[in-house]
Each structure stands twice: as C-alpha cells, then as structure tokens.
Amino acid sequence: MSQELWRKPAHELAALIRAREVSSREVVDCHLARIEAVNGPVNAVTVTLAETARAAADQADRSEPRGPLHGVPFTIKENIDCTGSATTQGLTAMAAALPAVDAPVVERLKAAGAIPLARTNLPEMGLRIATDNALRGRTNNPWDLTRTCGGSSGGEGAALACGMSPLGLGNDIGGSLRNPAYCCGITALKPTTGRIPLAWSLAPNMGIAFRLMAVEGPMARSVADLRLALALMAGWHPRDPFSVSAPLQGPWAPRRAALATAIPGCTLPPATVAAIRRAGAVLRAAGWTVDEVTPPELERVNEVWGQILARDIEDMLPVLRTVMSAGAVATVEALGRHFDAAALPGGSRFVERDRLAQAWSAFFVDWPVVIGPTWTDLPFLHDADLDPVSGLDTTLGRLRFITPGNLLGLPAVALPMDVTDGLPSGVQIYAERWREDLCLEAASVIEAAVGTRAPIDPVI
C-alpha cells in the first residue's frame, strides 16, 4: 500500500494513520519519494522539509492522535510563514527571510496533528496569475508543460495535481487559490473574508486592498478535504483582529442554483460552458432548481476590484521596483494605468463596493448558489501575461468571474469537471458571505457524480 499512498486524499490518510494501517513515517516518506520522482519537470516544490517532517512523523507514530490530521503531511506556499523555512515571497531579496512564528493557518494545522512537508512556488510578491521568479524558477502545468499552472498559488496547485502533497495552503486576492485549481485540475476553497485568520510577520504592508480582499485557504484534491481543512483553520485569532468566529453551518436555504454561462465582455470556451451546464444537470438530478441567470453588474465588479487593488500597488511601486523583475514591474504598472484613479476617485470606490455587495446579496436571496467559470479562457502559454501589448488583457480577461469573490468577500469553491483536449476544465461555485457550507454542499453533490481529475503523472 505504501507505494500508492500519494494518490490518497488527506482525510483518507488520516483515517489510515489513526487505524494504524499505515504509519505517518510511511506517508511522509512516500510523498518525499513522489516529490523526488516528479518535481523536476514541474518545479512546484521549492524546498523539502524532509528532516523535520520525518522527525515529526516518527513522533506522531509514537503518540496518541493529536487531532483530525494526525500524522498527515501538508505543503505551504512560500509567502505563508512556517518556522524553520524562509517566507521568500518569490523574491531573491527574501531568500533567507526566516519567520519567528508560524502563520495562524500553519499553527492550526500543526495543532490538528498535520506535518509541514515542503514549501511551494509563487510569482514575485504573488502579483501574477502565472508562477515564475528569479529565485526558484518557473512552475509548469503538469497537464501541459508549455502552459501556466496559474498563480499565485501555482506551486501548490501543481504539487497537489501530481500527488506530491495531499493538502496545501495558499492565499487569494485575485483568484490565487482558484486560478491554479482551475489550471491544474484540483479543488480549492476561497473562504469569506475574515473566516480564516490572515497574518504575515514578514510581508510588506499591502494596504486597504489586502485587508478588504485577501484571504488564506486550503487547496486539495477532494471537497471532503476542503471541508475538513476549513473547520480546522477557521475562527478568530489575536494576530488578525478582523478575523471572525462564525458558524460553519448557516440556516436553511432553498436548493436553487443560477448558472452563469454568459460573462459580459468575453466568449467562454465551449468546454467551460459544457462544464457549467453539466454541473447544473447534476444538481437538477439531485432535486435542485437550476436556471441560467447572470449575476449583477459583473463588469462594474471588475472595475471596482481593479481600482482598489491598483491604488495599493501604486503606493508600493517604489519598493516593488527594487525587488521585482522588470517584466513583473511593467505588468503591475500597466494595471495602474488601466484602472485610472480619476474614474473612481477617493472614497467612491468603497461606496460602489457597498452598493455592489447589496446587489449581490439581493441576488443570493433568489439564487443561494451561483455556478460559473473559474477562468473565462484556457490556461495560456508561458509568459503570455507579460506581453507588453496583450499581457494585461490576458490576465484581466480571465478574471472576469474571479473578482466578485475578492471584492465582495464571497466564499467560492473551484471544482474540476472534465478533461478536454488534454486540459482540465472546471467550474466555480459562489454563495453569500459566511455560506461556505452551501458552496461545499453543491460541490460535494457535483463531485460525487463527475469524480476527481488528480493526481496525475506530469505529461512530458
């Protein structure tokens, strides 16, 4: 069995370890061997924590279970603090930036018995939807090495897709959990803003956009693992005074789902439309009411999201220019020019945010779940997002249904569906703030019918 342990989801590994059918050391060694075998062409894992992981596994095997993930390894994006390894932000300048404390999400998974296994790659400062940097190099999509794995949690997405890890930690201010989930054929949960505490001891100040729109969350290969990780990671933490301990199960809601098959400003690929409609058909067969309905003011949502993010990035540019590559800096400079500050000056950005949040809350009364695309186009060829003419459109065009989650603080699940022409397709499931339970319920029903798409061997 030990040779196949890398194929199993985290909750199954936890059950096997609790029952002493396998040891934690076997699980850790199996995943380290898998990293050694397949990481080369993908370059998802940047650093293995082999010595400490094996020691923790041996201790777990000598101990009574500490929690629901006792003895199970997990991986951590390199902009999340994990003591004993650098929080690099994908920057050469931070290659030796060792945190004094764990991030709250790492602290909580450790308390549940989980074991840090390795660190994973990201773009510089997490400011691309592709994953590449001068310090660690490029992470490739395991389904097609010529294409992006997504970003900014791209290393996590590729590692999970290849069985190098059963559970990962990433973060999201513009789809950075959901983008790689879509590109790599795995699943991810972007929680309600404030549901999971967010604190970086070494991160530069990201301003109001960071506080309003950024979250940390789990990435996995099964909805059950997302549900388990959410329960372990959620709740108030003193290092994040804006975090909230809110019930994980909300009141009854009608089983009604809106399908967003037409996104303003773009034409969705046929495989994406087919995936959305297949998800709707599964829910309809399970007794849900399903119809094709477009949520409110998507173009305005994209504009306000971009305005808030661009203003913060402009404030950071003097620092970014000293630590980031020329191509990455040019991309974020283009973002500022695209979202002209004069179009939404001062506090008007936040007035519009509130108005749009009210419109979406009213929509959720009639349609508690909304299913649409994750990206509105296919994973692009490497560096297409850096093209000085078309790169910004390459990025912003794909995020047309990503931005509601960040601007409005909504929970979302990115769920793989099919494989078309060698690439995974998927859907994104939204619900009202604090209703992760509805996202996960719909995702569970769909996953039970369509199955999962990973792990895979890299397609070389």
What's the residue count for the chain? 460
CA atoms within 13 A on the CB side of 336: 13
CB 309 within 8 A of CB 213: yes
Q: What angle do CA 228, 229, 235 make, to 5 degrees?
A: 110
Q: What angle do CA 93, 188, 190 make, to 5 degrees?
A: 80
What are the residue numbers of the active site?
A: 77, 152, 176
Q: Please enumerate in sequence order all residues whose Cβ is within 8 A of that of 208, keeping only pairs 6 or more positions apart, or say none.
A: 308, 312
Question: Using CA atoms, how far apart are residues 204 and 382, in angstroms rounded to an integer?
Answer: 27
Question: Using CA atoms, how far apart are residues 420 and 418, in angstroms rounded to an integer?
Answer: 6
Return the structure tokens found at 311. 């203003």
Peptide bond into 152 cis (omega under 30): yes
CB atoms within 10 A of CB 48: 19
CA 243 to centroid of chain Cα atoms: 19
Q: Which of 88, 6, 91 is nearest to 47 (CA)?
A: 88
Q: What angle do CA 217, 28, 109 make, to 5 degrees?
A: 30
Question: Using CA atoms, how far apart are residues 178 and 415, in angstroms rounded to an integer?
Answer: 9
